[in-house]
Amino acid sequence: AAGVIQSPRHLIKEKRETATLKCYPIPRHDTVYWYQQGPGQDPQFLISFYEKMQSDKGSIPDRFSAQQFSDYHSELNMSSLELGDSALYFCASSLRGTAYEQYFGPGTRLTVT
């Protein structure tokens, strides 16, 4: 079965640079969620989109923005990167009618040096 795809899988950036993470949800899933997992920590919800509109917002810094496109893929844009942004970024997707079933991608590991 098709899963959530994230790219790139690994990314190394320097402080103050920008990064763009991409997420391709499971086919027919219309809702995308972004989570951030710091080293040794639990995943923290950042933001979610349903039908290309932002539906919920968590602890996403103002330096980050995200959007969902007409093909339902989503991008997380991160600017003015800080060392503390180094983390595993997960995307999850669900289908509106079964929003309780969120399926996670493999994550993008971002390292800021």
Partner 1 sequence: GEDVEQSLFLSVREGDSSVINCTYTDSSSTYLYWYKQEPGAGLQLLTYIFSNMDMKQDQRLTVLLNKKDKHLSLRIADTQTGDSAIYFCAESIRTGRRALTFGSGTRLQVQP
Q: Contact residues for partner 1 (CB under 8 A)?
A: 31, 33, 35, 41-45, 48, 50, 55-56, 58, 90, 92, 94, 99-107
Identify which of residues 38 and 80 has a Cβ nearer to partner 1 in the complex. Answer: 38
Identify which of residues 22 and 79 has a Cβ nearer to partner 1 in the complex. Answer: 22
* Shortest distance (Å) from residue 11 CB to partner 1: 15
How many Cβ atoms from other residues are within 10 Å of residue 21's Cβ? Answer: 22
Which of 3, 50, 48, 8 lies closest to 26 in space, CA to CA?
3
* Shortest distance (Å) from residue 73 CB to partner 1: 17
* Shortest distance (Å) from residue 16 CB to partner 1: 27
Q: Which residue has the tokens 């027919």?
A: 28
Identify which of residues 25 and 107 has a Cβ nearer to partner 1 in the complex. Answer: 107
Computed from CA positions of residues 1, 34, 23, 7, in that sequence, does the dihedral angle turn out positive or negative? Answer: negative
Nearest-angstrom CA–CA distance, 23 and 48: 12
